[in-house]
Structure 1
Amino acid sequence: EAARGYSPELVRGSVHVNCTVPAVDPGRAAKIVNAPHGCRTAKVKVAEPGQTLDDDMARVCAVRQALGPSGQMRIDANGGWTVAAAVEAIAALCEFGLEYVEQPVKTVEELREVRRLVDVPLAADESIRRAGDPMRVKRMEAADIAVLKVQPLGGVRTCLQLAEQLDMPVVVSSALETSVGVAAGVLLAAALPDLPYACGLATTSMLTGDLVTDPLQPVDGHIAVRAVAPDPDLVSASRPNQSTERRWLDRLARCERLLRDRRE
């Protein structure tokens, strides 16, 4: 759809975004929040393999101190907890004020169980984008918020349709793409009728480089809706090795055949 110039009807000219804090030490976490992006919402990664709840507590505490009491904070476990561990961790981390908890456990069934046991809203990410049936989250009443990522879910148009079917608040996030990919996420977020939460699209600074000369980065906590185009010199400088290039070309060919078969 991007190649054909598809653009939905937009209802906003910029998108409110959060900064993302990886599973780093408290000092580094505070520096990320205090960087000159203007974001007053932070998403903090937790449940990192090899780390403990104490590590998460220290990181989340540092982020809260950096944000101040008026900032919003959500945590993302990427399905790293069991139900029991999730309930314990959420109860402990609530001390710092949580907007919501993203994907605390792996399965939809576990997500529903955690939702029954905690008072904090839950957001589903992997339970939607990696699911054969993304609507199970809604049918099983397993989450309060849907996290949608354009590329894994098949494009802006598909995500708009899915958001309508899910009929729950949506947070648009990136899958760590360059500005070319993030632009599609910004387009989706700008087209959603309601956007009550900051979106996870301020991620280009996490890359070592980009493919555009003017990357999509937040100003005063917002990313403007605008077209971007790859710069040929940057594309050449970022060219992958032959093995990686061949793997992705093969994957694109398989996707093209699948789409063609569906049309037929």
Structure 2
Amino acid sequence: MLPPLAELIDSARVVALPMHTRFRGVDTREALLFEGPEGWAEFSPFVEYEDAEAATWLTAAIDFAWKTQPAPVRDRIGVNATVPAVPASEVAAVLARFAGCRTAKVKVAEPGQTLADDVARVRAVRETMGPEGRIRVDANGFWNVDEAEHAVHALNEFDLEYVEQPCATVPELAELRKRVKYMGIPVAADESVRKSSDPLAVARAGAADLLVIKAQPLGGITHALQLVTAAGLPAVVSSALDTAIGLSQGVALAAALPTLEFDCGLGTSSLFLDDVADLRPVDGSIPVGRVTPDAAALDRLAAPAERRDWWIERLTRCHGVLEGRA
């Protein structure tokens, strides 16, 4: 049941979280938080997303705030460090913010950078983490098949755990997977799942070895679990650059998966200079459980009035989309 818009707005708080390093093109992450009968939830589709896509994120937030969630089967979630597309000289400082993490996800294929930049960054991660560390890279679909094959060869010496969304389309992923299979480097799909009208296409095409899933973009925990079951592939739960509130929803998703073979991308609170609650990794993991924002933090991180108005207008439009779907 869709709660009345007025009920969402009544508890809505819009926050702006400053970041240590520019990531995904932003220096400050904005989010709208609201409270329902089950607790706090987050609505934070990226600002460039159209209302039809953003409304799915609102579905997830309402589901988390109004409905009882699937029971957890674990009480802590191992998480990876996230290394933005920084110069190699800054890698050690980034990793130092992710206490005890044994896995690092490294951004590669950043527009305006070169493969040499990627190699230098991944080498710095390997040197900092040592041979025991696990390294995965994320290209966000920016390579074509030939570029991706070349990059995987160039990065192979660093013992990659997997390469995430190396190419944009499902056919490209399938072709790349064939080309690099002999190297033993798995291919993970992210955007081909969460931004697709047919999220199971990647599994049917044999285009990925595992899925990267995110609670908000997939419409909530129950839908994400159904997707993983239908795909029949291992899953890694990741953040959509959420505040601690959104992260707690991702943690609940990871906690409910029947099996969890990989560290999850849910340690991203460490990318922020400040957050509405403390959900940074301790000994490489974070606890399972709902998070309540700190009242002082909500005030300290409150977005300017014009940005609050923008988010309330967006919430109103997306609520209208959901009314139309109902």
Aligned residue number for residue 200 of structure 2: 135
Distance 1:60 1:73 in 2: 8
TM-score under structure 1 length normalisation: 0.94
Check whether the contact 2:190–2:211 (CA below 8 A) recurs between aligned residues.
yes
- Measured after TM superposition, the shift of residue 33 of structure 1 is 2.5
Counterparts in 2 of 1:35-74, with a 5 A limit? Answer: 35=97, 37-74=99-136
Distance across 2 between alignment mates of 1:153 and 1:250: 22
Deviation of 1:244 (Å): 2.7
Provide the C-alpha distance between the structure 2 equivalents of 1:138 and 1:247, rounded to a whole number of angstroms. 38
| 1:191 counterpart residue number | 256
Give 5+ residue unaligned stretches, structure 1. Answer: none
Name the amino acid aligned to 2:206: E
Match 1:89 to one of 151, 167, 172 = 151
- Shift in Å, 1:104: 0.5
Match of 2:214 among 149, 159, 163: 149
| Counterparts of 1:252 and 1:157, CA distance in 2 | 22
Q: Higher relative contact order at CA 8 Å, sep ≥6: structure 1 or structure 2?
A: 2
1:171 matched residue in structure 2 = 236
- CA deviations 1:19-69 (Å, max 9, x no partner) are 011111112112323446100101111111111111111111111111111
Partners of 1:34 and 1:66 within 8 A in 2: no
Question: How much does 1:169 deviate?
Answer: 0.5
1:212-241 C-alpha deviation (Å, 9 max, x unpaired): 2xx111111111112211223322332223
Q: 1:227 aligns with which of 290, 296, 304?
A: 290
Give me the CA root mean square deviation: 1.5
Q: Does 1:247 align with 2:310?
A: yes
Amino acid at match of 2:198: D
Is 1:162 the counterpart of 2:191 in the alignment? no
Cα offsets for 1:177-208 (capped at 9, x unmatched): 11000000001001100100100000012123
Q: Quick check: 2:98–2:280 contact (8 Å CA) kept in 1?
A: no
Quick one: percent identity of the two aligned structures? 50
Change (3 A) 1:36 1:19: closer
Do residues 126 (structure 1) and 191 (structure 2) align? yes
Q: TM-score, normalised by structure 2?
A: 0.77
Amino acid at match of 2:251: V
Q: 1:211 aligns with which of 270, 276, 279?
A: 276
Letter in 1 for 2:133: G
Give the whole-Å Cα distance in 2 for the aligned partners of 1:231 and 1:223: 18
**Which structure shows the bigger proportion of residues in strand conformation?**
2
Structure 2 residues without counterparts, runs of 5 or longer: 1-62
Matched-pair contact (CA < 8 Å) for 2:97–2:270: no
Matched AA of 2:315: L
SS in 1 for 2:236: strand
Aligned-partner SS, 1:112: helix
How far 1:6 sits from its partner (Å)?
2.0
Quote how far apart the aligned CAs of 1:126 are.
0.7
